[in-house]
Structures are given as C-alpha cells and as structure tokens.
Amino acid sequence: MVGSDTSPMEPIGTGPSGDARAAIEDFYVEERTFPPPASFGAGALATTRELYDAAEADLEGFWAKQAESLVDWFEPWERVLVWDPPFAKWFEGGKLNVSYNCLDRHLREGRGDRVAYYFEGEPGDRRVITYAELAVEVNRFANVLKDLGVNKGDKVAVYMGMIPELPVAILACARIGAPHSVVFGGFSSKALESRILDAEAKVVVTADGSWRRGNPVRLKEGVDAALENTPSVEHVVVVRRIGEEGGVQVSMKPGRDLWWHDLMASAGTECAPELMDSEDLLYLLYTSGTTARPKGIMHTTGGYLTQVAFTHKYVFDLHPETDVYWCAADIGWVTGHSYIVYGPLANGATSVLYEGTPDYPDKDRWWDIIERYKVTILYCAPTGIRTFMKWGTVYPEKHDLSSLRVLGSVGEPINPEAWIWYYEHIGGSRCPVVDTWWQTETGSIMVSPLPGLSVLKPGSAVEALPGVRGEVVDDEGRVLTRGGGYFTLTHPWPAMLRGIYGDPERYKETYWTRFPGRYFAGDGAKVDGDGYIWFIGRVDDVMNVSGHRVSTTEVESALVDHPSVAEAAVVGANDPTTGQAIVAFVTLRSGEEKAGARGEELRAHVAMRIGPIARPKTIIFTDELPKTRSGKIMRRLLRDVADGHDLGDTTTLADPEVVDQIRTMAEERLFAED
C-alpha cells in the first residue's frame, strides 16, 4: 500500500522563515506520478515552462499579451492594472464586447459553419447549432430585450434548464450591456426571489419547465411564486421547452408574460454590439451559502474574458478545429458560465450541451454521448466520478471512449482513488487528468496542471497557473514551503471578482482580512516536498481530534482508497474525550455488504493508511450522501446528524430522503463504534 509505512506523527516541514508551522496536519501520502503520455506531448500547446517564465518575469506584460492575442478590442486599454487594494481594474479604458468576441469575430474570420453546440435534450431530441446560427439567435434575442425596454446596465434574471436558449439569453445580455444574473434552475422560488430582489432585475427569462429524469421541473411556476414580491420585474419571457403535450401548462399573466417564440419570430436579426468598458459589469452570480445571505459576486468584462479564454485554451489543450469539448456542469454555476459559455465560445470551440441527468434513461447516458459525438475533452466534478464508481465499470465499458484525450475535474478535492478510476476506466490510461481549483469568486481556473507538461499526482492540483500567484500560509500568514495550511493569492488576477454587489465592506471583510494583503476564501491546502499543491477542503471542514487538526478530505481519501468504498463524507462530532471524534458516512460500491465487520475493516484501513489518530470513531453506512444541487456534500447537516441535533431546513438538498435515511440509521445506530 502506497505510503502505508509513513509514520503519521512525522514532524511537518517548515517554511523559509523558519518559524512557519503547519496549520493543518498532513497525513495522507500519495506517491504515484504520471508524466504526460508520450502520445500526448508532441502536439500539445504547452510543453515547456515558457508561459510560467514569461509571467514570472512580467506579470502585467504577460496578461497584456494574452488580452491582445485572445480578445478583440474596439479600443485599446490605457493601463493594464490599477490596483487599489482590494479593488482591481484590468485593462483600464479598453473597449470591447463579449458577445462580439464569442460570435461575430468567428463569422468574420470564416468560422461561421463550425459547430458551437451539439445540443442533446434529455428525452433524446438533438440540435446542431453552428456559430452562424447561434449569432442569429443572439442578435434576435438582443433586439427582443431592447424592445422590452432593457437598457445598458439593467439587470436580467435567467432561470432555466440546460437548453440552447440559455446561452442565447446570456450572450444577448452581454451584447446589449445588460448584466445577467443566472439562477440555477434547481433552486427554489425563494432563492430566485431573493436574487431578483438583490439585483433589482427588470426582466426574467425562463422556460415552462426542464426535463429531469423523465419528469418536467416546472420552472415558470417557480417564477410566478417569486414574482409576487419582486416589484422591479416588468416582463417574463418564457421558452416553451416541455409544452402541454409534456404535461406542463403555464398561466401567462397578460401584459407581463410573453412567449419566447412569439417575440423571436418578429425580431430583427441584427443588433449592433454595445461598446463596453473593460470594467463594465458582465454578470452577477450568487454564491449559494447554506446558511448566510447569498453574495452577488460581480464579474466584469475585459479581464474576465481574457483569463477564461486563456485557461480554457491551455488547461484543456484546446485545438478548436478538431476537439469536441464537453463540460458537464450546469450553466447555473460559475463552471458553466466560464467553461460552457464564455471560454469555449471565445476560443471558437465545439461543445456538447446536455440537458439532463447521467442516469436517464440508463446509467450509461454520458458514455453514450461521448461515443456518439466523439468527445475529446471531458470536464466534470468528483461527485460525478464517485457516483460512476459506485455504479461500476460495466456502464463505461459498453461504449467506445477512445476519442477522449483530456479529462478535467472541478468543484471539490478529488480523492486519489477516484482520480485513478477516472484515469483508467474513462481515460483508458492515456488521458491526462487536470484537477482544476478555482471558485465563483476567482472567475477562472487558478491552480491546475497543464496536460502536455505537468507530471501528475492523483489528488493534487499541482501548481498555480502562469499569471497566478498563490501561496500556502500558516495561522500567522507565514509562507509554508511544506505542510498544511491556508491557500492564499498574493496578486490580483484579471478574472477576479470585483466585489459583492451592493456591499463593498462585506467583500473586504470576507476575503481580505484574515491574512492582510492576501486573498483568502476558506480553502485548506498542503504543499508537498516537490512543491505540489493539494487542496484539502474548506477550513471549516477541519476537525480537531485530541489537539490534532485533521482534514476531512484526507480521511475521506483513505476511506475511498479501500476497494469496497465508493464515497465517503467525514465530519467531526463533539466528543467529551477527544474534543472532536471522527464520524464517517460511507457509501459502498454496488454489490458490497454493509455487515458490521466491514465497519471495523474500514476503521483499520484508515488507521493503516494515515495513522491511528485519524481512525473514525464511528462509521455510518448509507446508500447516498446528502448533497447540495451543485454536488457538494452537506457537511453541516452531517455534523448535525452526528451530533444528534435537529436538522433544520434541508430544501437545498438533491434528495431530502437521504437525510431521513441517514437520520434513521443514526438513530438506530446501525454502525460500527468504538
């Protein structure tokens, strides 16, 4: 077993100051390495450290060069960066239009016939949309918005499923300079209401519904409920996705609600792109805290587009003439904004857009899509990968996945065993896996390998990308060159959030006060002896066991390392003896027994893998783990279960029944214990 002979109590390395102390202990050792496959290297965009060296020598000059080569500007900028901490302006004075960059530019340069999106609806309907066709739709909808009285600066809320009208609506907003606020279609009407109120949206774009596992999700009903309390909204535009034949009837309020197809039928096909300042607001995206008031993260125009185009190109080694790229996130999250819409379209990529779930009509839907469209680049989340592990290899094995050449991961730490499973069973051991760390706030990927260059270690996001300066620090903000601590950014980056909408104080307080002069947004990370960065979860997910700070991610990785485990979530429960005790919720791979001895075996496995201090006190077996709609495990809730508290509001869960199941099991104590 790799690393099993490493003593967990070994001293932790210290930084150059000599005094820096690891803030989170570092137990899990992963020693497997994967250099870029020989077959991959030759044609890759980055095979040397040239980009890193250029950015190291002159960071602003580096970004200016990317902005020139990846983006078309109507007027040049005067200054690359104006930094008035913590407020940044990038490419000050520059003028551009994002939809022009995503559409018109490609048409002008002869790429109009290239496919922008292969749309695959959940029921099996398909549409192939070229750049030229997408441009016509976007121009039309931009005219529709203007006719409805939407002016530059007015906010438009968008609440719909993954259908082509969603990127059309977004790009139309960008074309006329109306910032969009996309609200994920799985959110409740209350969540929609609070976001509409905060942004004072003038128009809402929605659909009658969207397909999910063969059933319609009634979106327009949710909009109607939200709009009872939102005086700013003048119009609602409704796409007919399901129709009455699909079982969805909507009520249209006269004067307020309008059908998309009626408006589009009479709209002109040309709408001149608005001249936008580099620092004009492109969009708001609300981060969905499970407890606190949502924050409207502000992203602007020139810097954002530059960095998403740059990262999309180099992190995925994009060859737009030949690649078929699929980011399987939802456009309602930042991943979809940056890597389904803006980055890929700015780069002239061909993407897959899929409406539904991975298990409809069967658990091989993704692999069928990859085979049919010959997808070359797949970008998805560890939660998906662990679900596929649980379902077993029989589903991917039914399909020819040989078109794939790069695999990406985002959203959570990827446990090494899930990484290996992805690498072997999806990538056929020939595709580099790029583990990309970033946030809604960063706008763009920040830490990631480059596939033609980096030697990969399963579970590590490797290093900050060229043009990004990241450091791991201890409790006092001293730089750690080895060991576990807090991940911080030391220099402004082009796609960074420009603030929290309407609340500059909260912006300063949330991100810039914990470590003066550094951006910190809550992630723990460790640096290993080779300088590799390993994200180990949110710092509020760190447990304190007998005075040792143990990362939940490391214990989870040790559990997933056991061949019978598909997924694990670990929390610290209050314990009179040890401060906190480790409680693990475990989902087994299909066909594995949940017998009592299994709990003992897993506890022993963790102790052997990372040390006795990390041995879970309790293991609870469950068929599912409670997750937010973006797939993040709801640890707060699991902590409450573990502590025997009341559960409170669970409406943001993917499957509320899971909670009941977990609660029952916890009550019945169907688990192994000390």
**Which residues sit at the interface with ligand PRX, rule CB under 6 A?**
287, 334-335, 410-413, 435-440, 461, 521-523, 535, 538, 630
Q: How far is the CB of 589 from ligand PRX (least distance, A)?
A: 23
Nearest-angstrom CA–CA distance, 318 and 397: 26
Q: Is the peptide bond before 361 cis (omega within 30 degrees of 0)?
A: yes
- Is the Cα torsion angle 157, 161, 162, 163 positive or negative in sign? negative
Nearer to ligand PRX, 300 or 335 (CB): 335
Q: How far is the CB of 464 from ligand PRX (least distance, A)?
A: 13
* Pair of tokens at residue 62: 């580096």
Q: How far is the CB of 345 from ligand PRX (least distance, A)?
A: 18
**Cα separations in angstroms, 1 against 110, 528, 558, 610:** 55, 19, 11, 11
Residues 531, 481 contacting (CB under 8 angstroms) = yes
Torsion of CA 170, 171, 177, 183, to 10 degrees: 10
**Cα separations in angstroms, 497 against 71, 437, 618, 630:** 19, 16, 41, 20
Nearer to ligand PRX, 523 or 554 (CB): 523
Residues 620, 671 contacting (CB under 8 angstroms) = yes
Nearer to ligand PRX, 436 or 488 (CB): 436
Q: How far is the CB of 457 from ligand PRX (least distance, A)?
A: 13
Q: How far is the CB of 541 from ligand PRX (least distance, A)?
A: 9
Nearer to ligand PRX, 94 or 336 (CB): 336
Nearer to ligand PRX, 354 or 437 (CB): 437
Q: How far is the CB of 535 from ligand PRX (least distance, A)?
A: 3
Residues 21, 14 contacting (CB under 8 angstroms) = yes
**Cα separations in angstroms, 168 against 264, 480, 502:** 12, 45, 27
Q: Which residues pair with 156 in a beta bridge?
A: 180, 203
Nearer to ligand PRX, 523 or 561 (CB): 523
Nearest-angstrom CA–CA distance, 346 and 73: 13
- Residue whose C-alpha is closest to residue 183's, from 174, 175, 638, 169: 169
Nearer to ligand PRX, 558 or 665 (CB): 558
Residues 349, 325 contacting (CB under 8 angstroms) = yes
* Secondary element (H or E) of residue 205: strand 203-207
Q: How far is the CB of 363 from ligand PRX (least distance, A)?
A: 24
Residues 584, 552 contacting (CB under 8 angstroms) = no
Q: How far is the CB of 287 from ligand PRX (least distance, A)?
A: 6
- 3-state SS, residue 541: helix
Nearer to ligand PRX, 282 or 588 (CB): 282
Nearer to ligand PRX, 277 or 567 (CB): 567
Q: Which residues pair with 87 in a beta bridge?
A: 84
- E strands, 397-508, are 406-410, 433-436, 470-473, 483-489
Q: How far is the CB of 487 from ligand PRX (least distance, A)?
A: 9
Nearer to ligand PRX, 438 or 621 (CB): 438
Q: How far is the CB of 241 from ligand PRX (least distance, A)?
A: 26
